Structures are given as C-alpha cells and as structure tokens.
Amino acid sequence: MDKNHNELSRRQFLRRLGIGSASALSLMALGPLQTFATAATPAAAPSSPRRGDDAPASGSDDIKMTYRRQNGSGENISLLGFGMMRLPREQEEVNRLVDYAIAHGVNYFDTAPMYGGGRNEAVTGAALSRHPREKYYVATKMSNQNQQLWSFGKSKEMYENSFRQLRVDYIDYYLLHSIGGGGMDALRGRFIDNGLLDFLVGERQAGRIRHLGFSYHGDVRVFDYLLDHHDEYHWDFVQIQMNYVDWRHAGRGRRRSDADAEYLYGRLEKLGIQAVVMEPIRGGGLANVADDIRRQLAEVRPDDSPATWGFRWVGSFPNILTTLSGMNRMEHLEENVRTFSPLQPCSDAENQILASIADQMAGFPTIGCTTCAYCMPCPYGVDIPGNFAFYNAAVTAGQLPLPAPTADDYGQRQEAFIAAYREALPAEKRATACTDCGQCLSKCPQQIRIPNQMSRLVELTRKRRA
C-alpha cells in the first residue's frame, strides 16, 4: 500500500484531482485547453498524416497562423477554430478573447442557438460585429432537437433569429445540428418530412447560407444516409468528433456503438467533403491525462502539453478544414495560437506513440462525457456533467477506490473518495438523486448510459458492512 494513500486527507485528495472545494462546476473547466486531439496511426490514411493544403498566412507579417483552403470557395480558414459554446459570462471578457483571436489569425467562430442557455449567438454576434465582416467566418446551427420545434414554422423562426442575434445578413457555415441522435426517425421529422432541408438548400442557392453541412453524433445510419445522398444535397463540410481515443475506440461504453472517427473521416475524405473537428480533447478530458502518459509525451517533446500534442495530430490530417477549441480563458487561447502558428505535423514515430497511448487510455474505466451539458437540466437536480467530471478526474489521478472492496486499503481509499465527492458536489446534485427516469438518454450526443453510470457512482460511495 502506498504511504500516500494512507495519509491522504480530503484536501490532499482534492488537490491531487485538481479540484477546488468551492463547486463541482469548476470540474467542467478541467484541463489547460478545450480542444485536444490525438489518435492511433490511421489505417485509411498515411501512417504519418501528410500536411494538408495549407494556405499562406494572410495579411500582417505578425500572423503565422496555419490556414486551410475551403474546397470550392477557396476561402482561407484558420486551422484553429474558436468554439463558442463555453464562454465567460461577461461580454467584455468575450470581446477580449475574440479580439485576441482575430488579431492572431483565428477567423472561424462556431456557435448555436442552444448554447449558453440561448444567449450564445447574441454574445458571439456582439463580439464579432465590432470587427470588419471580412475578418471572420461564423458558423451556427439548426438546433431543433426538441420535437416541439420540428415544424417548418418553428424551425424557420429559429433560422431567421440566428441572423438577428449574430448581426449578419449571411451565415458562412450552417449546420444541421447533432444529427444521429434519435436515429432516422428524428432526421426525417427534423429535416426531411417538414421540407426544412430543401428550404436550407434553397437558402444556400440564394446566398444567405454560404456553406451547408451537418454535425454528427450517434446512429451511424443517419451519417451514412446523408452522405449517400451527397449528389442531392452537395454537403460543403461535415463536423465530426475526432480525437485519438475516438479514432478507433469511439463505441466503448455507449448505448449503441458509434462509428469510430477513422470511419467517419475516411468516408468524408473519399467524397472530397472537408471535416470540421469537434471535441478533439473530449471537453478537456484528454488534456488531463494520467501522470504516466504525460511522462511518455514529455520524453519526446518536453515543452509540449498533452493538448499541444493532440492539436498537432489532428491538424496533420489533410482533409481537416478547422479544429474547434472552446477557449474560455486567455491562457487557453494563447497556447492554442502558438501551437497553430504555424502547426508542426506529427512524425511517424510520434503517431506510433499516440497510437499506443490511445490503446492505454481506452482501457481506463472513464465515462465518455465531454461536459457539453446537453443532458441538462436534470428534472431531479442531478449535476450530470459535474458527477462525471469528478469521477473521471479520480480515475485519471489514480484515486478511485479500487481494485476491490476486499482489498486491505479499500476502506481508506473509499473514505477519501467519499469526502472529496461530498466537498465537490452538494447532496442534491449527487448521483444519489438520480431516479433512473431516462429523460437524459436521448439528449446525450455521446450515447452514455447515464443512469447506469450514476449507479456506479452510488455504489462507489456505499460503505460495506463489516
């Protein structure tokens, strides 16, 4: 038994997890960056992904950002994209982040009507509209996942409101949001039977949408259906989740098996449809890797963070148009800009290291939550992302009360785990408040068995009788 475990106090436990005692909400900001990708060496792509069709840096000599040319239009899109989902609350702080991003060559900004409790588009629009329109490309989405919004009228109202909130007269990149959830029935109800997809295609022809695509989570049959009809819809881009764990391990722990990112990327590349990458660090989870993995990376590039490794890997793929990072703190933004200015693609040897690490991480008993909070609010008050973030942090730090209740040190490890859990989350937000109602299941883009995972947490905090 490690002496450190015997002497682990509640405060020490929290510090080792990187968790403050104030609130579990801080768990959702774990990690130095909000976008990190890494992957096994691709089978369908070169063993060392070749550099893409990088465009020259634009404008000022001070800007060294790596750009990719958009197929068809020839637009130069920054390989680092700004994911606006998790923004600071203060408009002035958002403005400061956006100003720095644009000054350093970032020009792709991604938002959606449902982000930030419905205020995200307005906040994004207020920040971007202070800059010349040619300085940025804005992406937003048709977030009509709620069945009450499936009518053509309601969806069209959402679409038109995006223009007002973003303060634009055209939208550069427009997406069908999170297709795959709910399977083919949801796709038909949201976009096909109501004529909405035909309407959006017409809006692209009219120039109010410059590029039309979709973001994918869930049932791969929906992804395949839309690509099988590419000749009809002419997709300009597709947004996929791609990181070095999901490259070949995407289906682990899901209610139904997702397609691995390797398959998604491969299909898009064959069709000549560029990919936008989301969740390259799984909501920060892959930036907070275990110490042994961090050491493996540091032996090769001691000055690079795990997040930097991931960005370099995902940017090495030639068919990636941009990689989204939810940069809600200036230090995140500054480090990401350095990584992409310019980007240094991964070597064959580095890809082999990341492939091995991906296999290691796939075996960790973590929960595949990206803290997107689509599952929220829980009708019974459970902080679903907060619970999962705490659990995953404990796994990464090696502080889960394992291996078995019969182990000599199990009681001490469990006491430390329970004390830290109680300090991180108030009683009404813990897993014990879950009633297994199942309302969260259809909302989760990662297809996590949320009630089952809550039961796992409850079990870990249940003391055994002597």
Three-class SS of residue 211? strand
Looking at the predicted structure, is the pLDDT value of residue 152 above 80? yes
pLDDT score of 258: 63
Residue by residue, what is the 3-state secondary structure of 340-365? CCCCCCCCHHHHHHHHHHHHHHHCCC
Residues 6+ apart with CB under 8 A from 54: 66, 67, 68, 79, 342
Which value, to the nearest 10 degrees, does the dihedral of the CA atoms of residues 259, 262, 265, 269 take? -130
For 404-462, how does the pLDDT look when each residue is reduced to its tens digit (9 = 90+)? 555 567 778 788 888 888 888 998 998 888 988 888 887 887 778 788 778 778 877 87
**Domain stops at, among 302, 327, 362:** 362
Q: How far is residue 298's CA from residue 295's CA, in Å, rounded to a whole number?
A: 5
Helix (H) or strand (E) holding 128: helix 120-128
268 pLDDT exceeds 90? yes
Residue 466 lies in a domain: no
Range(s) of the domain holding residue 374:
3-27+366-460
| Sequence-separated (6 or more) residues with CB below 8 Å from residue 117 | none
Q: Would you state the pLDDT for residue 406?
A: 53
Stronger pLDDT, 236 or 34, i.e. the higher one:
236
| Buried b / exposed e along 226-235 (16+ C-beta atoms within 10 A) | bbeeeeebeb
Backbone angles phi, psi at 68, to 5 degrees: -120, 145
Task: Decide if 82 is inside a domain.
Answer: yes
CATH of residue 286's domain is 3.20.20.100
Partners of 139 in the beta sheet?
A: 110, 173
Judgement on whether residues 139 and 166 belong to the same structural domain of the protein: yes
What average pLDDT does the chain have? 84
Q: What integer pLDDT is reported at residue 171 of this predicted model?
A: 98
In-domain check, residue 74: yes
For residues 146-155, average pLDDT: 96
Bridge-based pairing state of the strands 67-69 and 54-55: antiparallel
7 and 20 together in one domain: yes
Res. 83: pLDDT tops 80: yes
Q: What angle do CA 279, 430, 219 make, to 5 degrees?
A: 35
Q: For the segment 305-346, what is each residue's pLDDT rounded down to a tens digit?
A: 999 999 999 999 999 999 999 999 999 999 999 999 999 999
271-297 tens-digit pLDDT: 999 999 998 887 777 788 888 899 999
Residues 276 and 372 in one domain: no
- Is 9 a residue whose pLDDT tops 60? no
Sign of the alpha-carbon dihedral angle for 55, 59, 62, 63: negative
154 with 204, same domain?
A: yes
Query: Do 77 and 136 lie in a common domain?
Result: yes
Q: Are 345 and 411 found together in one domain?
A: no
Specify the range with the lowest mean pLDDT, choosing from 173-177, 203-207, 377-381. 377-381
Does 91 fall in a domain?
yes
Tell whether 108 and 182 lie within a shared domain. Answer: yes
**Alpha-carbon torsion 303, 308, 309, 312, what sign?**
negative
Among candidate residues 347, 362, 377, the one where a domain is terminated: 362
Residue 121 sits in the same domain as residue 245 = yes
Residues 179 and 213 in one domain: yes
pLDDT in tens, 21-59: 333 333 433 332 333 232 333 333 333 344 456 876 665
Token output for 175: 């997406």
Q: Given pLDDT bands bounded at 50, 70 and 90, which one contains residue 60?
A: low
The winner for highest mean pLDDT among 255-259, 285-289, 397-401 is 285-289
Do residue 20 and residue 83 come from a single domain?
no
Q: How far apart are CA 41 and CA 64, in angstroms?
A: 27
Which has more confidence, 176 or 388?
A: 176
Residue 203 included in any domain? yes
Alpha helices in 230-329 (DSSP H): 230-233, 246-249, 261-271, 291-300, 306-315
The answer to whether position 422 is within a domain reads yes
Task: Give the total number of structural domains in the chain.
Answer: 2
Domain ends where: 331, 346, 362? Answer: 362
Q: What is the pTM of this model?
A: 0.75
Residue 465 within a domain: no
Q: Which pLDDT score is estimated for 99?
A: 98
The answer to whether the beta carbons of residues 70 and 342 sit under 8 Å apart is no
423: left (phi over 0), alpha (psi -120 to 50) or beta: alpha
Top pLDDT among 256 and 152 is at: 152
The predicted structure's pLDDT at residue 29: 37
Contact present, 30 and 436 (Cβ < 8 Å): no
pLDDT at 131 over 70: yes
Contacts of 395 (CB under 8 A, 6+ apart): 364, 365, 366
Q: What is the pLDDT of residues 65-78, one digit of tens each?
A: 999 999 989 999 99
Note whether 441 and 401 are same-domain residues: yes
Q: Does residue 65 share a domain with residue 202?
A: yes
